[in-house]
Structure 1
Amino acid sequence: MPRSGHPRRQATLASLAAELKVSRTTVSNAYNRPDQLSAELRNRVLEAAKRRGYPGPDPVARSLRTRKAGAVGLLLTEALSYSFRDPAATSFVAGLSESCEEAGQGLLLIPAGPGRDDVEAAAVVQQAGVDGFVVYSVADDDPYLAAVLERRLPMVVCDQPREIEGASLVGIDDRGAMRELADHLLGLGHTRVGVLCMRLGHDARDGRADAERLQSPHFHVQRERIAGVQDAMLATGLDPATLTVVESSAHTVVAGHAAAERTLAINPDITALICTTDVLALGAREFARWRGIDVPSELSVTGFDGVPEALATGLTTVRQPAEEKGRRAGALLQQGSSSGESSVEILGTELIRGHTAAPPRTWHRGPAE
């Protein structure tokens, strides 16, 4: 018998229910609430659906009925590629993804990269089909954050900004952790130290941060880590005003290399570089190798984060639980969605005494070439 020239119409939930002589709810339950059906009945529905090419209930229609999108929005402070390139961010996303999987939710990445205005940010956030947001280390005046707040959905902040009304928070004591690391360095005898940090403002700057820049109110994490070093200096009788702080607009090993070179050009007598991230510290170590400066006998270098590459190379650093941050952020979002209550969790850190910090050698390095 010749085939009809008309393609076979794809089955719908209604037509499949009619063919099987069951209710539409039964077909829907086979996909969304399998515990409501016997194994035999569910298999019969799924086999018929496969035979007829039925893909399952329309997720858009379901979300309209339930008013649930089935996804979490992750607001990132940098371009989208940052979450796949930065080791700490990658670990955080892995932990958050694990939490989303356990809750049966998807994850939508929303990059709050620089160069977008309020209108663009609002459009991106308003179009995001999500049930809540996790905000990962965003400045408190970021236009994307303002757009998220306007959605009035459950929200969890990781690291920064702090004290957003109604939002849960998961983070660490950045100031205290860096104070412990700086105490260790100063205890070794270092009195001339430099700090390499990530950007302190929305504008891209590479170079020495002046006193006004250091008071930037919008980047909590970097400000607090620098303050931890200043606290340690005060406690040992050193003047925090003598601290050389060099800022990098990019967060890469190359940027750390360049920042280390700038710092020692500003003050060749520095004996220790305290980096606010491991990535910058790895760049500083590359610079030292390039200049023939031995670490740690001639220059101590420390990091912060405890990323795998840093730990594998013996970097003296602070290890923070980045992956656990992600898992807890996801869990707090689920709790807040069901209870409507917010909470704060400050996770612990660990000082890792690697082999990149040692007592300073008394010598003069001379100006950088």
Structure 2
Amino acid sequence: MAMSKVGRMKLGSQGMEVSSQGLGCMSMSAFYGPPKPEPDMIALIHHAIQSGVTFLDTSDFYGPHTNELLLGKALKGEVREKVELATKFGARAREGKFEICGDPAYVREACEGSLKRLDIDSIDLYYQHRIDTRLPIEVTMGELKKLVEEGKIKYIGLSEASAATIRRAHAVHPITAVQLEWSLWSRDVEEEIIPTCRELGIGIVAYSPLGRGFFSSGTKIAENFTKEDYRQYMPRFQPENMQQNQTIFEKVNELATKKRCTPSQLALAWLHHQGNDVCPIPGTTKIENFNENIGALSVKLTPEELTEIESLADIVKGDRSGKEPTWKESDTPPLSSWKTAN
């Protein structure tokens, strides 16, 4: 399949425009095995931009910090003007433990750190990576609003937030995008989160749209996990669940063969057909996989094919993540409680 032309889309209703598919950069530096060679990753980022994929996604938690530093190097000079750069704050490792923080002073400190590492004057889209359920969302949003007013960030996003939290945050300052895990085997967000975003005019950014790589090769993916790859601890990749999940992959593969595309392309095409407010951000560390991913933009699916594909999600086995908090637990205390306490 020839490489597709990557179009543009409006993300949310605040004026942000991005490429219709983005590039998740996390796996270049962290979590899916050891960090990849810097020159290769910079070459991949430049190839993505030249191909029209200009919406790049990182976080201060990836590494930590090393992924932002990589992007800072890749986007030196005129390249910066060609991209829409998203990064995140709020998740950090302290004394070996995972911690979520939305405290105003920390928000500002994290933003300054990201600006420095990325070597930029302003962050295009700044997400709260995970919601701090210890304090009201209005408190965190108040600081983010100040950062917008100071020109340090252009647009605000939330990641893994509940519908109630999204509404409360949006009332303080308009949210441009909500990032969430959405794929053929992670569809629980369709019940409440997606409709809330659509009602409020918030863009939807789908991370792990290939099921953390599952829809590229099925159970075979687990054979290549290194000791640094945290997917080996995720419930869906456990041997007791993998056998049933392989059935999903085989059915996707069967449909893909009929469509003359790859299973990855079919899984991504399904997301592209969910609406023009959805931007998937598949990650990769290989140029050939990147080229395959943008090929998904050429795959057209009929309503019957979409129904057939969607019937597969019912048989997935295992939770989508381990102990990490998700949007189901991400409601925050009322603002009154914070005012009383402070």
TM-score under structure 1 length normalisation: 0.29
Give the structure, 1 or 2, with the largest relative contact order (CA under 8 Å, sep 6 or more): 2
